[in-house]
Amino acid sequence: MVPQWEYVLRLLLAAVLGGIIGFQRELYGKPAGARTLALIGIGAGMFGVMSLTGFLGNNTAAIAAAVVTGVGFLGAGAILHRHGGVEGLTTAATIWVAAGVGLAASAGLYVLAPAVTAMSVIILFLPQRKQK
Write out the chain's pLDDT in tens, 132 residues. 788 999 999 999 999 999 999 999 999 998 899 999 999 999 999 999 988 887 656 666 777 778 888 888 788 777 877 777 778 889 999 999 999 999 999 999 999 999 999 999 999 999 887 765
Burial class (CB within 10 angstroms; exposed 0-12, middle 13-18, buried 19+) of 4: exposed
Average pLDDT taken over every residue of the chain? 88
Contact 23, 38 (CB under 8 A): no
Burial class (CB within 10 angstroms; exposed 0-12, middle 13-18, buried 19+) of 29: exposed
| pLDDT value of position 11 | 97
Q: Model's pTM, two decimal places? A: 0.88
* Cα–Cα nearest to 94, from 66, 122, 131, 61: 122
| pLDDT value of position 126 | 93
Domain spans of the chain, in order of start: 4-125
| pLDDT value of position 116 | 98
| pLDDT value of position 76 | 79
